[in-house]
Amino acid sequence: MGPRLKAYLQLCRPANLPTAAADIIAGMSISGLFLGLSTFEFPMNVPGQAFLLILASVFLYAGGVVLNDVFDIEIDKVERPERPIPSGVVPLGKASFFGFLLLIIGIGLAFLANTLSGYVAVLLALAILSYDKYAKHHSFFGPLNMGICRGLNLLMGITLFDGFENWPYVLIPIVFIFAVTMISRGEVHGKNKGNILLAGLLYVIVLIGIGALHMVYAASNLTYLVFLLLFALMVFRPLVTAYKENMPNNIKKAVKAGVLSIILLDAAIAVAYSNILVGLLILLLLPLSIFLAKQFAVT
């Protein structure tokens, strides 16, 4: 792989992209996709629409992280000069074009899948740009904006069948990603114990929230608890370490675990609307993310 190609891939954060796909699969599960698969009670083009939505989500996520680096050029020149744009491997203008192109492709794919999903994709793209350009510089609205991006991504999957049923599940990724983004505030300088404590509290709220939503909306399928337990183990262990030894390296590990564990979170959501096989299907994205995380930066 040539250095230029690797630099462009690095801008896209490949390890994070399967987590975007996991959001969509969870959302489509909530919409009833896998119940429909078992009874064949939907049009034959639905699997194709589902595939388009997964691709749309991946392109939108990739575009968002590329443009995040574009807007961070001045900061990265000082704090992370080894990144593709400040190092000069990828020119700023080409990186900007690349990022916007990815967003446009993502929106187009969503409209091809479903008109309502396309409108959600437009909102998601606007939320992404809002975070990249403005909100991330604010200690509260930055994490909230990032969480809204994840919530809209889940919602895009829910709209597979032209509806907003069970929309309260959107609150789960909003709260969780708010917490992860709060932790990431200490990646460079450390000393963020207050944020870590807040994140731990929000993690607990997420665990309780999933159980409560499943009781209200989902069938009484307790298999999701297995995935929820794995999720809790994955996020709390590095979080405790980052609190005890509040150094940038440990904080980065806690953030990395938070980002990758979205796959387990999505599996815990999806299983309640399908079966354990769907959960295992989503879970297969985790080793892929972990492998890619060894090759490319997560944050």
CA-to-CA separations, 69 to 105, 187, 220, 227, in angstroms, rounded: 19, 16, 44, 33
Tens-digit pLDDT profile for the chain (299 aa)? 678 888 999 999 999 999 999 999 999 999 888 875 555 555 567 889 999 999 999 999 999 999 999 999 988 888 888 899 998 899 999 999 999 999 999 999 999 999 999 999 999 999 999 999 999 989 899 999 999 999 999 999 999 986 787 899 999 999 999 999 888 876 666 677 888 999 999 999 999 999 999 999 887 678 999 999 999 999 999 999 999 888 888 888 999 999 999 999 999 999 999 889 999 999 999 999 989 988 887 76
**pLDDT value, residue 275:** 86
pLDDT value at position 78?
86
Report the C-alpha gap between 241 and 299 in whole angstroms: 19
Element of type H or E holding 240: helix 224-244
Q: How far apart are CA 185 and CA 299, in angstroms?
A: 11
Given this model, what pLDDT does residue 38 score? 53
pLDDT of residue 192: 79
Q: How many residues does the chain have?
A: 299
Q: What stretch of H or E contains 122?
A: helix 115-133
Say which residue the tokens 């801008």 belong to: 11
Compute the distance between CA of residue 228 and CA of residue 138 in angstroms, rounded to an integer.
31
Whole-number pLDDT of residue 3: 81
Tokens for 252? 């980065």
Q: Distance (Å, rounded) from C-alpha 64 to C-alpha 185?
A: 19
CA distance 150 to 128: 10
Nearest to 157 by CA among 27, 33, 43: 27
Chain CA centroid to CA 184, Å: 14
Specify the residue for token string 């999806």. 270
Q: How buried is residue 212: exposed, middle or buried, by Cβ count under 10 Å (0-12/13-18/19+)? A: exposed
